[in-house]
C-alpha cells in the first residue's frame, strides 16, 4: 500500500509539473502578456513600465525558474526579503537565505492587485457547494433510476429512463443551463419562486448586510447535474443488469434469499465500481468545469471569476484557476484509488 501511494504521488507530481510548465508557456509566451494588457495604449513608457513590473524583461529561463520557485511549497528566499518570508514558515536559516515552507505563490491580479490565491480561496467555497449539490442530486437520482431501469429491463419504464438519459448526455451544459434558467426562473417563476440569477450569499438591498440565499442553489445545481445524472443512469443500469445475470445471483435465488437482500448485499457491491469511478471523476469535472453554469446563473465561484479574468486579460488569475483545477483532479484521483482499496480488495496491488 505504501509503495503504491508513493508511486502514485510521484506520478501526480510529474503531472502537476507538466501542467505548470504548459500553463507558463501558453500564458507567458503566446501571446505576450504586456501586449494583452496595454491594448490600444501603445506608448513606449507604458509598455516599459508594465514589462518591468511583470518581470518580462528577464530571459525566459529565469522567468520559468522564478515561476516554479513561487509554486514550490519549499523555497529559498533572501533573509532580508521580509515580504517573501511572511508568506510561510521559516524552516531553516541558511546564512543569507532562508528555507521557507509556504503555500504556492500565484502572484497578484493585474486588475485588482490582490493576491491570486486569496481570490481563488474566496471563490472556491461557492464552486464547492455548487459541485457538491449537483453531484449529490445526480448520484442519488441517477443510481436510483439506473437500478429501476435494470430491474425493469425491456419494459416501457426502462425505455423511458434510457431515452431521457440519452437526451441528458447529448445536451451541452451551457444549453441546459440557459434552458433551466429560462423555464424555471422566468416562464414558471410564479410557481417556482426561483430567480434566474443569484449566488449563495446576497447583499440586502436595504443595507442590512449579507444574507444566505439557499434557493439560488436549486437551478444551477439542477442544470449542472443533468449530464452526470444521465451518465450514472446508464452505468448503473448496465452494471446491475450484467451482475443480475451472473451465476452467484442464480445460486442466491435458489437458496431462497429475497430479491432485496440479493440486490443490496451482493449485486450492488459488485456493480458499483464503474459508478464510483464516474462519480469521483465527475466531481473533479464539476469542480473544475462549472464555468458556463456559474456565468449564466451569475453564481460567485471559480468559474465566474475565471471568465471575468479572461475578459479583462487578468493572466495570473486565469493561470491560478487552471493550476487549481489540475490539483483538484490529481487529489481526487488519489482519493479514488484509496476508495477502491476499501471497497474492493481485488484491485489491491500485490
**How many whole angstroms separate alpha carbon 306 and alpha carbon 124?**
11
To 5 degrees, how large is the angle CA 67–CA 68–CA 71? 95
Q: What is the pLDDT of residue 103?
A: 77
Residue 330: is its pLDDT beyond 70? yes
Q: What is the pLDDT of residues 245-270, one digit of tens each?
A: 778 777 877 877 777 777 777 777 77
Cβ atoms of 295 and 307 within 8 Å: the answer is: yes
Mean pLDDT computed over 2-27: 81
List Cβ neighbours of 334 (8 Å cut-off, separation of 6 or more).
5, 8, 9, 12
β pairing state of 74-78 and 97-102: antiparallel
Mean pLDDT computed over 331-345: 72
Mean pLDDT computed over 30-38: 57
Q: What is the pLDDT of residue 137?
A: 92
**How many whole angstroms separate alpha carbon 268 and alpha carbon 248?**
13
Residue-range domains of the chain with CATH: 73-105 (no CATH), 116-347 (1.10.3720.10)
Task: Please state the separation of Cα 308 from the chain's center in Å.
Answer: 18
List Cβ neighbours of 97 (8 Å cut-off, separation of 6 or more).
76, 77, 78, 79
Q: How confident is the model at residue 136 (pLDDT cuts 50, 70, 90)?
A: very high
List Cβ neighbours of 230 (8 Å cut-off, separation of 6 or more).
142, 164, 165, 166, 167, 168, 169
Q: What is the pLDDT of residue 30?
A: 54
Q: How confident is the model at residue 38 (pLDDT cuts 50, 70, 90)?
A: low
Mean pLDDT computed over 80-107: 62
Cell of residue 332, nine digits: 481526487
Helical packing angle, 218-244 and 268-289, nearest 10°: 150
What is the rounded average pLDDT for all residues in the chain? 78
Q: What is the pLDDT of residue 3?
A: 74
**How many whole angstroms separate alpha carbon 105 and alpha carbon 10?**
21
C-alpha distances in angstroms, 107 versus 23, 104, 123, 284?
14, 9, 17, 25
Cβ atoms of 123 and 302 within 8 Å: the answer is: yes
Q: What is the pLDDT of residue 344?
A: 59
Residue 277: is its pLDDT beyond 80? no
Q: What is the pLDDT of residue 53?
A: 64
Helical packing angle, 315-343 and 116-151, nearest 10°: 40
Q: How confident is the model at residue 84 (pLDDT cuts 50, 70, 90)?
A: low
Cβ atoms of 102 and 89 within 8 Å: the answer is: yes
Q: What is the SS3 assignment for 271?
A: helix
Q: How confident is the model at residue 308 (pLDDT cuts 50, 70, 90)?
A: confident
Choice among 55-69, 83-97, 209-223, 319-333 with the minimum mean pLDDT = 83-97
Q: What is the pLDDT of residue 105?
A: 79
Q: What is the SS3 assignment for 170?
A: helix
Amino acid at each position: 500500500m505504501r509503495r503504491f501511494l508513493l508511486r502514485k504521488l510521484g506520478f501526480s507530481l510529474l503531472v502537476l509539473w507538466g501542467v505548470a510548465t504548459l500553463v507558463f508557456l501558453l500564458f507567458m509566451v503566446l501571446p505576450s502578456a504586456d501586449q494583452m494588457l496595454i491594448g490600444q495604449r501603445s506608448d513606449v513608457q507604458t509598455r516599459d513600465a508594465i514589462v518591468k513590473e511583470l518581470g518580462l524583461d528577464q530571459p525566459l529561463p529565469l522567468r520559468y525558474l522564478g515561476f516554479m520557485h513561487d509554486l514550490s511549497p519549499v523555497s529559498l528566499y533572501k533573509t532580508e526579503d521580509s515580504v517573501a518570508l511572511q508568506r510561510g514558515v521559516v524552516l531553516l536559516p541558511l546564512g543569507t537565505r532562508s528555507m521557507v515552507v509556504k503555500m504556492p505563490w500565484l502572484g497578484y491580479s493585474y486588475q485588482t492587485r490582490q493576491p491570486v490565491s486569496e481570490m481563488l480561496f474566496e471563490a472556491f467555497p461557492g464552486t464547492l457547494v455548487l459541485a457538491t449539490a449537483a453531484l449529490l442530486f445526480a448520484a442519488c437520482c441517477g443510481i436510483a433510476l439506473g437500478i429501476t431501469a435494470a430491474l425493469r429491463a425491456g419494459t416501457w419504464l426502462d425505455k423511458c429512463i434510457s431515452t431521457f438519459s440519452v437526451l441528458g448526455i447529448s445536451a451541452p451544459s451551457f444549453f441546459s443551463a440557459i434552458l433551466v434558467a429560462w423555464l424555471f426562473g422566468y416562464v414558471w417563476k410564479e410557481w417556482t419562486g426561483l430567480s434566474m440569477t443569484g449566488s449563495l450569499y446576497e447583499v440586502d438591498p436595504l443595507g442590512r448586510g449579507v444574507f444566505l440565499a439557499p434557493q439560488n442553489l436549486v437551478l444551477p445545481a439542477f442544470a449542472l447535474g443533468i449530464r452526470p445524472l444521465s451518465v450514472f443512469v446508464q452505468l448503473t443500469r448496465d452494471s446491475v443488469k450484467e451482475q443480475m445475470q451472473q451465476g452467484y445471483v442464480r445460486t442466491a435465488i435458489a437458496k431462497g434469499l429475497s430479491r432485496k437482500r440479493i440486490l443490496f448485499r451482493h449485486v450492488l457491491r459488485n456493480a458499483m465500481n464503474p459508478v464510483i469511478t464516474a462519480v469521483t471523476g465527475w466531481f473533479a469535472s464539476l469542480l473544475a468545469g462549472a464555468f458556463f453554469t456559474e456565468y449564466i446563473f451569475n453564481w460567485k465561484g471559480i468559474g465566474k471569476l475565471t471568465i471575468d479574468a479572461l475578459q479583462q486579460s487578468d493572466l495570473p488569475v486565469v493561470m491560478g484557476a487552471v493550476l487549481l483545477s489540475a490539483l483538484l483532479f490529481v487529489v481526487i484521483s488519489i482519493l479514488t484509488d484509496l476508495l477502491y482499496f476499501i471497497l474492493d480488495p481485488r484491485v489491491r496491488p500485490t
